[in-house]
């Protein structure tokens, strides 16, 4: 009889072949999913929301991460708070999923009442000796980086988020995401493992055949190419385009827009990459014709041709353009289910139907998200097949995937797997 | 690497802090759910039905408890029987879920045929040597206590049900529940652990803010209060009301209605509590205006002001009033799913639209059940949150919860956990 | 405390009582389900499709077996191929579930392109050094036996399929199933374990009370009976009918139609049974009046009265008659869910509405499948009940079930359980 016990997670990690996709179990197994949630969604910084999700004092929104629920709110002093959505009496959820307006946080079960700071101020029938001071709602480590809310659910948040913070505060400043407006939000549940969602996002090898709308403004070859696989004409154009980057990056930086690629990937704890990318065609925005969707530009931006400042994290990808931004965050729901949440941001004073047309603003990424969802499902189904064996990443176009899974393995190892 | 094995159930029990709600795993884990089903729903007496569910000879109804299905039936001699709903040939279900009328029990698969006693009388094609006598349908230990059907699925049913039987036969006699009529039945599946359903039922701390309809006839302070947390006026009224109990209980008992509180809780095997409670306002019944819903009183009752004889078990709660009774039983479906079944009983000769109005009869507990279902869901979701830690029960208003979970732990221990 | 660990599969096998249905866990447990899928659906030959599912070059259809997906296709030379539906790059499904027409197999994700033979011919961006030759799509062991497609997903397919092949090529030749037409296909998901689906199929003890439509043409007594359980008249008729078989089988064989029962059951690896059965009543076909449904007979058949050549496998049953054939295959979906797929075959030139009426062709087995689905659900529910204990098979009418579960246990043992 063969040994029928499943491999340990550690043995699965050992079995990975360099340069190849992961062994199936790391995408499909429930124990790996539990480890992933714990390590990557509770012990690392994750991007979960926006300051402008709660623009006014008293605005609150819940954030669900696995079985954890957080309350992101703006208190009466206009400060952002992130606290746990579980009453300190018998644990009940204080706020229902979604948006609320609150002056105090009152548990609907027994009326325990908390300040927006989390301080417990009223607990009926608990007696004179009851010490309210040790029953405040639990706070959560968070950072607003240029208006993007990152949280870490552990007590020991990774310190190297400092680099992300330093780099992105500077890059995001002119877009003033803190004061932006969420023009639209769209959720989709992809039928695949969260790492397949991220792998799919880290290459554009699949773009030309799958994303006709995105390819108007996006240049798939920015993500690498094998010169030998292109026609002589395509190869020349690709090489010309690569050369453009040096020139364009120098110009942008001279104009005060930090643009060069900065990466903190494998070898680090907090994973991110940013670079200002050239927008193709009309050169302004990720819209059906690559022209700006919003006449009112973001923040203090004065030009539409400032490219696309992309930002990747291990649970997010973002595109900041002159006229609007697209912010996409993911939360794993099960080994084979991933929530993908997309938000489109415009200037807070931009008026729908006047300054921007909602359809023009959203159509490219709505289509892209839909296409990617189908690809991730196709990918997960095939990986769950007993016939699957890890395949080779292209060194030209899938280097970022190799880097991501290398980081993934490092981080599980660092947490004892 | 941390030890990532889940704690044993025994270690979870050890980790409980006195006076506090249970550790999360006891509410959420699948292995605990399996243990709960085995210990509390197979090895203890549980309330599952009514004699008047099967008023006529040949009436049968199935009762589902986890993957077990029982047949409650009335045989040709008018006797109640409870037998297992699994053919002794290849196991097939004999009766479909719900109500049937039967003269024999004939398995639809291969026509094995049983008397209503369970005796196998026909098994085609089994040959001359086949011994039918050892293939009777399996009987189930049951008791009708004042018309309430209790079963125990183990071969070793707890003996201390005797106290419940002695007390409740006497108290229920004048209501004649055996001959009552089920006027209405309503099922809801609560999205929470069964112990949260019971905990929710064992306190009225949540009533004033959540059950406006019930509070017309129900007095939440009957379930305890902290004098210091009330306004001087409320406190005085509460204390006056408490004093009323002595007087009213003496009167009722003098009139031949046993009324004083009797409890058999922690420290015992079979868990129950009964007491005759005062109905507020008009004082008659749990209806929107606290007046009787049925003009025809139950059994031999001659007065509408005989209060509310409540009866709690570990899977039930009941209210017996002059004009009607409400009987609520629960069955766990999963660690986070609980079936709550409510039945409203009236005199067998009471005629809908003449003696009682169905809406007046049912509206208070329909509303209350709905509200409680939302609270249990809110409670379970928060307890499943990694932020949850057990919180303190109020010594004034949640003493019955502390007693219940103490009993729960004792009973798991007694069964080897 | 009792030992609460579940029994090993091996201990479950040990606990089986001869002549009785299996212990519950072998029908209900998830670990047994995983073992069953591995042993019976990956390491044995299973019947999964038909040559005539893909009549033309370029026709392809996917076959799902657990999480495995296969592509059954006909290549440009008219040859049948069965290959794994998982790209050798990052595993993505090449074809969507269902039917396709293909000239190459192009992965929608990154356009890796394969010949219909599985050979990889194009893999963009993989570089000059990339060796395509070791990245062909994986082939699957398969056999077309008289047009029925059998596959074995392991690398070591059982050799004793040779007997099945030799016997059935000869018996199926006159029906020319390779060139038949699939007139109708119907899927149902039964709420029961796959072994209950097969057990249900291996006896007709349940037919007389459950399958009125089938019993017009089917003779339940062919599957055994206890003479003592029949009325004298029924017994005489049954015995007369049994005697008919010798005569009729001799006639058929004299006419060149192999007809005698041939079995390869317990004691062997590949499980099958075939026999030419007498059709009751009008004697032609399994239709509502037992007359042929199709005026155009199958293959080179010249007579409608050639009986019913039945063929059983461990995941299939088939009936080949003069005018049409019914082919039923099953695939387990979960311990308690089984896909049953029924196909009705007629001559490739038979025209609906002219040569045959679809309703007459399909109604008997549509009704039978529906009835059996309800019986399997009833059976599974009862077996999952803690009250279930294995019951005795009738030695007269359920000998084939005893043989099947004996084989089942042998095969698990042979694979190390």
pLDDT over 90 (residue C257): yes
Report the C-alpha gap between C21 and C32 in whole angstroms.
Answer: 16
pLDDT of residue B229: 80
Mean pLDDT of the region C80-103:
98
User: Which of B38, B45, B91, B49 has its CA nearest to residue B71?
Assistant: B49
pLDDT over 90 (residue C402): yes
| Chain C contact for B396 (CB, 8 A cutoff) | no
With beta carbons under 8 A apart, name residues in chain B contacting A62: none
The more confident residue out of B1 and B170 is B170
The more confident residue out of B6 and B320 is B320
pLDDT of residue A235: 87
Rounded to the nearest angstrom, the minimum Cα separation between A128 and chain C is 43
ipTM of the complex: 0.95
3-state secondary structure of B154: coil
| Chain B contact for A124 (CB, 8 A cutoff) | yes
Q: How many helices (H) and strands (E) would you count in chain B? A: 9, 17
pLDDT over 90 (residue B241): no
Report the C-alpha gap between A344 and A157 in whole angstroms.
Answer: 29
pLDDT over 70 (residue C1): no
Rounded to the nearest angstrom, the minimum Cα separation between C5 and chain B is 11
With beta carbons under 8 A apart, name residues in chain A contacting B384: 67
Please list the alpha-helical segments (H only) found in A216-326. 232-254
Q: Using an 8 Å Cβ cutoff, are C205 and C397 in contact?
A: yes
Order of strands across the sheet that contains B46-50: B46-50, B148-152, B141-145
Rounded to the nearest angstrom, the minimum Cα separation between A112 and chain B is 11
CB contact under 8 A, B68 and C387: yes
CB contact under 8 A, C135 and A2: no
Q: Using an 8 Å Cβ cutoff, are B218 and B285 in contact?
A: no
For A136, the token pair is 């405040």
Minimal-distance CA residue of chain B relative to A38: B386
Minimal-distance CA residue of chain A relative to B376: A92
Q: What is the 8-class DSSP label of residue B134?
A: G
With beta carbons under 8 A apart, name residues in chain B contacting A84: 385, 387
Helix or strand run (H / E) with residue C34: helix C30-36
Residue B213 CB-half CA count within 13 A: 16
| Chain B contact for A135 (CB, 8 A cutoff) | yes
pLDDT over 90 (residue C237): no
Residues with Cβ < 8 Å from A34, sequence gap 6 or more? Answer: none
| Chain A contact for B20 (CB, 8 A cutoff) | no
CB contact under 8 A, A127 and B394: yes
Report the C-alpha gap between A172 and A311 in whole angstroms.
Answer: 10
Pick the CATH number of B145-414 from 3.90.380.10, 3.40.250.10, 3.40.50.1820, 3.90.1150.10: 3.90.380.10
Q: Give the N- to C-terminal CA distance of chain B in Å, as an integer.
A: 27
Q: Which of residues 357-386 of A touch C (CB under 8 A)?
A: 375, 378-379, 381-386
Mean pLDDT of the region C242-246:
87
User: Which of A34, A92, A141 has its CA nearest to residue B385?
Assistant: A92
pLDDT over 50 (residue A401): yes
Report the C-alpha gap between C195 and C182 in whole angstroms.
Answer: 27
Mean pLDDT of the region A358-387:
98
pLDDT in tens, A272-306: 999 999 999 999 999 999 999 999 999 999 999 99
Beta bridge partners of B182: B345
Rounded to the nearest angstrom, the minimum Cα separation between C224 and chain B is 9
CB contact under 8 A, A85 and B382: yes
pLDDT in tens, C299-349: 999 999 999 999 999 999 999 999 999 999 999 999 999 999 999 999 999
The C-alpha R_g of chain B, in whole angstroms, comes to 23
- Identify which of A2, A383, A394 has the shortest CB distance to residue C125: A394
Helix or strand run (H / E) with residue B366: helix B358-383
How many CB atoms lie under 10 A from the CB of residue A99? 12
- Identify which of A1, A383, A395 has the shortest CB distance to residue C91: A383
Q: What share of chain A is helix, strand, coil (3-state, %, to 5)?
A: 30, 25, 45
With beta carbons under 8 A apart, name residues in chain A contacting B1: 415-417
Report the C-alpha gap between C315 and C133 in whole angstroms.
Answer: 35
The more confident residue out of C83 and A228 is C83
pLDDT of residue B4: 56
Q: Using an 8 Å Cβ cutoff, are B321 and B286 in contact?
A: yes
For C83, the token pair is 């290959």
pTM more than 0.90: yes
pLDDT over 60 (residue A393): yes
C-beta contacts of B246-251 below 8 A and 24+ residues apart: B248/B278, B248/B307, B249/B276
CB contact under 8 A, A226 and C68: no
CB contact under 8 A, A125 and B226: yes
Rounded to the nearest angstrom, the minimum Cα separation between B302 and chain C is 45
For B17, the token pair is 């802090």
- Identify from B387, B394, B402 which residue to disrupt to test chain A contact, counting A C-beta atoms within 10 A and taking the largest count: B387
Q: Which residue carries 């798939």 as its tokens?
A: A220
**In whole numbers, what is the pLDDT of chain B averaged over residues?**
96
Mean pLDDT of the region A239-253:
89
The C-alpha R_g of chain C, in whole angstroms, comes to 23
Mean pLDDT of the region B401-410:
98
Report the C-alpha gap between C176 and A64 in whole angstroms.
Answer: 60
Report the C-alpha gap between B291 and B288 in whole angstroms.
Answer: 8
With beta carbons under 8 A apart, name residues in chain C contacting B69: 381-382, 385
pLDDT of residue B220: 80
pLDDT in tens, A252-262: 999 999 999 99
Beta strands in C218-324 (DSSP E): 262-264, 272-277, 308-313, 316-320
User: Which of C270, A299, A37, C219 has its CA nearest to residue B385?
Assistant: A37
Q: Between the CA of residue C133 and those of A417, C86, C138, what are the distances in Å?
A: 36, 16, 12
pLDDT of residue B234: 87
CB contact under 8 A, C394 and B111: no
- Identify which of B85, B88, B416 has the shortest CB distance to residue C391: B88
* Domain A52-143 classification at class level: mainly beta
Report the C-alpha gap between A253 and A251 in whole angstroms.
Answer: 5
CB contact under 8 A, A125 and B378: no
With beta carbons under 8 A apart, name residues in chain B contacting A108: 209-210, 375, 378
Report the C-alpha gap between B185 and B342 in whole angstroms.
Answer: 6
pLDDT over 80 (residue C273): yes
pLDDT over 90 (residue A366): yes
Tell whether the torsion through CA atoms of C64, C67, C68 and C70 is positive or negative. Answer: positive
Q: Using an 8 Å Cβ cutoff, are B374 and B71 in contact?
A: no
CB contact under 8 A, A391 and C125: no
pLDDT over 50 (residue C2): no
Report the C-alpha gap between B38 and B52 in whole angstroms.
Answer: 28
pLDDT over 90 (residue B3): no
**In whole numbers, what is the pLDDT of chain A averaged over residues?**
96
Report the C-alpha gap between C315 and C332 in whole angstroms.
Answer: 9
| Chain B contact for A111 (CB, 8 A cutoff) | yes
Rounded to the nearest angstrom, the minimum Cα separation between A18 and chain B is 24
Chain C neighbours, 3+ Cβ pairs < 8 A: A, B
CB contact under 8 A, A87 and B1: no
Rounded to the nearest angstrom, the minimum Cα separation between C241 and chain B is 18
How many CB atoms lie under 10 A from the CB of residue A148? 25
Mean pLDDT of the region C67-73:
98
CATH code 2.102.10.10 region(s) in chain B: 52-143
Rounded to the nearest angstrom, the minimum Cα separation between B321 and chain C is 37
Q: Which residue carries 């009964």 as its tokens?
A: B274
pLDDT in tens, B269-285: 999 999 999 999 999 99
pLDDT over 70 (residue C158): yes
Report the C-alpha gap between A293 and A362 in whole angstroms.
Answer: 9
Burial environment of residue C187 by CB neighbours within 10 A (0 to 12, 13 to 18, 19 or more)? exposed
Q: Using an 8 Å Cβ cutoff, are B197 and B338 in contact?
A: yes
Beta strands in C335-373 (DSSP E): 337-346
Buried b (16+ CB within 10 A) or exposed e, A290-320: bbbbbebbbbebeebbbbbbbbbbbbbbbbb
Chain A neighbours, 3+ Cβ pairs < 8 A: B, C
With beta carbons under 8 A apart, name residues in chain C contacting A191: none
Rounded to the nearest angstrom, the minimum Cα separation between B338 and chain C is 19
Tell whether the torsion through CA atoms of A136, A141, A146 and A149 is positive or negative. Answer: negative
Name the region of B299 (left: φ>0; alpha: ψ -120 to 50; beta: rest). Answer: left
With beta carbons under 8 A apart, name residues in chain A contacting B204: none
pLDDT in tens, C193-219: 999 999 999 999 999 999 999 999 998
Complete DSSP assignment for B370-386: HHHHHHHHHHHHHHTST
Would you say how long chain C is, in residues?
417
């Amino acid at each position: 009889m063969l040994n029928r016990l499943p491999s340990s997670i550690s043995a699965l990690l050992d079995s990975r072949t360099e340069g190849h996709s992961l062994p199936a179990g790391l995408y499909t197994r429930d124990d790996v999913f539990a480890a992933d949630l714990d390590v990557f969604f509770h012990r690392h910084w994750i991007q979960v929301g926006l300051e402008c999700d709660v623009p006014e004092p008293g605005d609150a929104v819940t954030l669900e991460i696995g079985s954890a629920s957080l309350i992101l709110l703006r208190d009466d002093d206009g400060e952002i708070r992130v606290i746990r959505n579980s009453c300190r009496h018998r644990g009940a959820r204080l706020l229902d999923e979604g948006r609320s307006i609150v002056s105090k946080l009152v548990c609907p079960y027994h009326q325990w009442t908390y300040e927006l700071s989390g301080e417990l101020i009223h607990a009926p029938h608990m007696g004179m000796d009851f010490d309210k001071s040790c029953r405040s709602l639990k706070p959560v480590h968070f950072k607003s980086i240029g208006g993007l809310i990152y949280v870490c659910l552990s007590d020991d948040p990774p310190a190297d988020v400092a680099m992300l913070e330093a780099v992105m505060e500077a890059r995001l400043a002119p877009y003033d995401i803190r004061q932006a407006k969420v023009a639209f939000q769209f959720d989709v549940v992809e039928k695949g493992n969260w790492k397949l969602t991220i792998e799919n996002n880290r290459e554009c090898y699949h773009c030309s055949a799958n994303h006709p709308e995105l390819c108007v403004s996006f240049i798939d070859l920015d993500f690498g190419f094998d010169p030998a696989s292109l026609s002589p004409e395509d190869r020349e154009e690709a090489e010309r385009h690569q050369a453009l980057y040096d020139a364009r990056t120098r110009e942008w930086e001279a104009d005060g827009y930090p643009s060069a690629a900065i990466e903190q990937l494998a070898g680090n704890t907090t994973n991110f990459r940013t670079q200002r990318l050239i927008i193709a065609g009309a050169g302004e925005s990720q819209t059906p014709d690559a022209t700006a969707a919003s006449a009112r530009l973001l923040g203090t931006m004065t030009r539409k041709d400032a490219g696309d400042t992309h930002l990747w994290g291990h649970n997010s990808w973002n595109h900041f353009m002159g006229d609007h931004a697209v912010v996409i965050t993911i939360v794993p729901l099960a080994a084979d289910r991933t929530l993908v949440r997309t938000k489109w941001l415009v200037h807070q004073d931009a008026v729908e139907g006047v300054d921007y047309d909602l359809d023009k603003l959203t159509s490219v990424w709505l289509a892209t998200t839909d296409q990617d969802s189908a690809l991730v499902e196709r990918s997960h189904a095939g990986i769950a097949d007993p016939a699957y064996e890890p395949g080779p990443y292209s060194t030209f176009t899938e280097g970022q995937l190799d880097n991501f899974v290398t980081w993934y393995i490092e981080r599980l190892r660092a947490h004892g797997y």
